[in-house]
A and B are shown apart, each in its own frame.
Chain A
Amino acid sequence: MAYTETVDAHDHHDHPPAGIWRWLSTTNHKDIGTLYLVFSGIMFFVGGAMAMVIRLELFKPGMQFVDPAFFNSMTTVHGLAMIFGAVMPAWVGLANWMIPLQVGAPDMALPRMNNFSFWLLPFAFTLLLIGFFVPGGAPAGGWTLYPPLVLQGGDSFPMAIFAIHLMGASSIMGAINVIVTIMNMRAPGITLLRMPLFVWTWLITAYLLILVMPVLAGSVTMLLTDHFFGTSFFSASGGGDPVMFQHIFWFFGHPEVYILILPAFGIVSEVIPTFSRKPLFGYEAMVYATASIAFLSFIVWAHHMFTVGMPLAGELFFMLSTMLIAIPTGVKVFNWTATMWRGSLSFEPPMLFALAFLFLFTIGGFSGLMLAIAPADFQYQDTYFVVAHFHYVLVPGAIFSIMAGVYYWLPKWTGHLYSMALGKWHFWLSAIFVNVLFFPQHFLGLAGMPRRIPDYATQFADWNMVSSLGGFGFGLSQLLFPILIWKCVRGGEKAPAQVWEGAHGLEWEVPSPAPYHTWQDPPSEAQIAHGAEH
């Protein structure tokens, strides 16, 4: 359905077509948002199941369950599924649902592309997962795909590369859609500096995506031609350089980690003010800090490569630039804290998850700072210390804030309030087990346990067992999440338009559940003012 039809149609067909066809053909931003979120949830459990296999094998020393090669496939596909399957689609799903509501637009700017970009994903991941059933097994060279190892892959190698191309194309289209929607479709009166922070952080994220996803696509294409067409971009035998792949990969990779976390900053910047009943402290500083993090993310990439043998000047440059990132990150943490200062706090599930984000992401930031110190990184690099670091920023960082977002907006989507008690159970189990799971990995790394190994020396046994128990606990606790969502979709207490007492923004000006079509007529100045005040 073309955009103009949506705007012009006065016959508001509030009832979408029924059945599967609705989901295949939909161009409605809410439907597509739902599709993305459901897909992300599925991939979260697929990737999670692989994590359970990993933790099971690592429960105690000795090889008990899987072959080392299969273990490597587990870590590789777990990483790819979580990053490209769980976290990124969740962000795009939330963007689809919320950005039009928050900027007062009737839909995303490019509805047909929206449908297409979603439907690429199931194909991409089918292609990736089929890898388990072809000769040579699923990709096992790590999600970082370093050559020459990745070139030793079996038939799944070209499939994985093609899957990455599809995921990349999908994210690029999603990003273009977000930018065009935000730049062109804002309701009159919503100036850039009146946009909610979720919209701001997504705008910056979308630009990052456009700038780096094509670079990833290029680098994996070069892998493909090295493997099949006799080029030697990354092979010394033809005058190429395997380290150059790492440079190009991390030129994409570091901005990519910020793609995973910037929208989280946005969500937390909405949730904390709501449940502190106080506007966000330092709104503009938050916008500038986000922008400077995005900028810095382009000049720090080689901190992932301190051990490849860079000369002194390179190590120094990347050490210092990485340390700089701590400053805007610190500004954000201080602003969130100042938002709670002299507020009036209550602890509903969205706030709980946002608070866990605040504490635990900060721990990940501290370990990031430690990793930035190049000489110390010689000891941390490629150990469980790094595993602990990036899981702290990704699980209680990105994943918890996705959950905060879902708990925040779920009543708006379904029109029902969910069970607060179940939500709190989900929160407490997750928050405790995530620490039991990941905190001991700091100790393991410092004690000398390398990452990506299926078996380990006996002195690492104790903390690995604790970590595995935490892992099983965390995995099981996540089952509460779909149960709660399912129950909330099916029924429950009727949600009012303004679900949370202290919530700001235009999304609370439309009824709950949000009708199939919203903001056909742009919000009035009064609604904008009301939304802004709350």
Chain B
Amino acid sequence: MNAGEELRRANRSLTAKLLLCVAGSALFGFALVPLYRVLCEITGIGDQQTLRSAVQVREVAQQGTDMTRTVTVEFMTSLPTVGNWQFRPAQETMAVHPGKLYEAHFIARNLTGHDTVAQAIPNIAPSQAASWFHKTECFCFSPQSFKKGEERVLPVRFFVDRALPGNLDRLTLSYTFYDLSTHVAAR
């Protein structure tokens, strides 16, 4: 009987420990979401999220311009749905010098037939370039309100880091324009 009691207690305590492990791995599963971003940054995979936040203008001044090097930046737009928006870059490409601040424009027009709000999601190719592409200002930092039928020019101010690896000579900045009203309605 005593031996049995003891075993039972041992079983219970080991079970409890293992359940803790299970809870730990479940937490870890969810923690992988933020960890993924951190890992992307550390490993140089490039954290696309950084494209959604601003760096300070003075960082540009600190870097100084590298006039000896030219990098081509391409601009690209996508829409997840068809027919209710127009969205295009005002310029297809720009030749830029690392360390210098530039401004590019995109043109969006609301054809949804009502007032609405849209959010642009940026992306850069190749993905690792995200670490060296900085914006001081961008229309994607916050949702944009549009009146029915309104057309607007949307600016982005950016510079390419002087530390951009030499094997990259062409970057593509792309935006997908999500209409938040249809987005919610689709749920």
Residue in A2, A183, A211, A214 whose CB lies within 8 Å of B14: A183
23 A-B pairs, CB-CB below 8 angstroms?
Answer: A3-B4, A4-B7, A7-B3, A176-B18, A176-B19, A179-B14, A180-B15, A210-B21, A214-B29, A215-B26, A215-B28, A216-B29, A217-B29, A218-B32, A219-B29, A237-B178, A238-B183, A239-B49, A247-B32, A251-B32, A311-B127, A313-B44, A313-B45
The answer to whether B28 and A3 touch across the interface, beta carbons within 8 angstroms, is: no
Tell me the minimal C-beta distance from B175 to chain A in angstroms.
11
Is B58 an interface residue, CB under 8 A from the partner? no
Interface size class of A (residues with CB under 8 A): 35 or more
> A-B pairs with the 6 shortest C-beta distances?
A218-B29, A214-B26, A215-B29, A214-B25, A4-B4, A237-B178
Is B67 an interface residue, CB under 8 A from the partner? no
The answer to whether B36 and A184 touch across the interface, beta carbons within 8 angstroms, is: no
Contact (A184, B18) CB under 8 Å given A215-B29, A217-B29, A251-B32: no
Chain B: which residue is nearest A5 at the CB level? B4
Contact (A237, B183) CB under 8 Å given A4-B8, A176-B19, A251-B32: yes
Is B83 an interface residue, CB under 8 A from the partner? no
Q: Roughly how many angstroms separate A43 CA and B8 CA in the complex, as a whole number?
A: 35
Q: Which residues from A are CB-within-8-Å of B29?
A: 214-219, 248
Q: Is the interface of B mostly helix, strand, loop or mixed?
A: helix
Is A212 an interface residue, CB under 8 A from the partner? yes
Q: Which residues from B are CB-within-8-Å of A230?
A: 184, 187
Q: Give residues of chain A (227-275) contacting chain B, Cβ–Cβ below 8 Å.
A: 228, 230, 233, 236-239, 241, 244, 247-248, 251
Residue in B43, B45, B80 whose CB lies within 8 Å of A237: B80
Residue in A185, A213, A215, A313 whose CB lies within 8 Å of B7: A185
Tell me the minimal C-beta distance from B27 to chain A in angstroms.
8
Is B126 an interface residue, CB under 8 A from the partner? yes
Is B33 an interface residue, CB under 8 A from the partner? yes
Interface string of B1-45 (1 = CB under 8 A from A): 101110110110011001101110110111011001000000111
Interface string of A291-330 (1 = CB under 8 A from B): 0000000000000000001110110010000000000000
Q: Which residues from B are CB-within-8-Å of A180?
A: 11, 14-15, 18
Q: Give residues of chain B (122-137) contacting chain A, Cβ–Cβ below 8 Å.
A: 123, 126-128
Residue in A2, A211, A236, A313 whose CB lies within 8 Å of B21: A211
Q: Give residues of chain A (175-234) contacting chain B, Cβ–Cβ below 8 Å.
A: 175-176, 179-180, 183-185, 210-219, 222, 228, 230, 233
The interface centre, meaning the residue of B1, B36, B49 with most chain A CB atoms within 10 A of its CB, is B36
Residue in B15, B18, B26, B46 whose CB lies within 8 Å of A311: B46
Q: Which residues from A are CB-within-8-Å of B14?
A: 179-180, 183-184
Q: Which residues from A are CB-within-8-Å of B15?
A: 109-110, 176, 180
The interface centre, meaning the residue of B3, B5, B52, B121 with most chain A CB atoms within 10 A of its CB, is B121
The answer to whether B26 and A218 touch across the interface, beta carbons within 8 angstroms, is: yes
Chain A: which residue is nearest B140 at the CB level? A239
Q: Give residues of chain B (154-187) contacting chain A, Cβ–Cβ below 8 Å.
A: 176, 178, 183-184, 187
The answer to whether A3 and B7 touch across the interface, beta carbons within 8 angstroms, is: yes
Is B48 an interface residue, CB under 8 A from the partner? yes
Q: Which residues from A are CB-within-8-Å of B46?
A: 311
Is A501 an interface residue, CB under 8 A from the partner? no
The answer to whether A311 and B11 touch across the interface, beta carbons within 8 angstroms, is: no
Interface residues on chain B, number (Cβ under 8 Å): 42
Q: Which residues from A are CB-within-8-Å of B10?
A: 184
Is A8 an interface residue, CB under 8 A from the partner? yes
The answer to whether A311 and B48 touch across the interface, beta carbons within 8 angstroms, is: no
The answer to whether B43 and A314 touch across the interface, beta carbons within 8 angstroms, is: yes
Tell me the minimal C-beta distance from A207 to chain B in angstroms.
8
Q: Roughly how many angstroms separate A396 CA and B21 CA in the complex, as a whole number?
A: 33
Contact (A309, B127) CB under 8 Å given A8-B1, A183-B14, A218-B30: yes
The interface centre, meaning the residue of B4, B126, B184 with most chain A CB atoms within 10 A of its CB, is B4
Q: Which residues from B are CB-within-8-Å of A109?
A: 11, 15
Known A7-B3, A215-B29; further 17 A-B contacts with Cβ < 8 A: A3-B7, A7-B7, A172-B22, A176-B22, A180-B11, A210-B22, A211-B21, A213-B22, A214-B23, A217-B29, A218-B29, A218-B32, A230-B184, A237-B178, A239-B52, A313-B44, A314-B43
The answer to whether A210 and B25 touch across the interface, beta carbons within 8 angstroms, is: yes
Chain A: which residue is nearest B125 at the CB level? A309
The interface centre, meaning the residue of B29, B44, B184 with most chain A CB atoms within 10 A of its CB, is B29
Tell me the minimal C-beta distance from B29 to chain A in angstroms.
3
Q: Which residues from B are CB-within-8-Å of A219?
A: 29
Q: Roughly how many angstroms separate A213 CA and B22 CA in the complex, as a whole number?
A: 8
Q: Which residues from B are CB-within-8-Å of A314?
A: 43, 45
Tell me the minimal C-beta distance from A111 to chain B in angstroms.
10
Q: Roughly how many angstroms separate A430 CA and B80 CA in the complex, as a whole number?
A: 49
Q: Roughly how many angstroms separate A314 CA and B7 CA in the complex, as a whole number?
A: 47
Q: Roughly how many angstroms separate A213 CA and B45 CA in the complex, as a whole number?
A: 27
Residue in B4, B32, B43, B183 whose CB lies within 8 Å of A7: B4
The answer to whether B126 and A237 touch across the interface, beta carbons within 8 angstroms, is: no
Chain A: which residue is nearest B29 at the CB level? A218
Q: Which residues from A are CB-within-8-Å of B23?
A: 214
The answer to whether B11 and A110 touch across the interface, beta carbons within 8 angstroms, is: yes
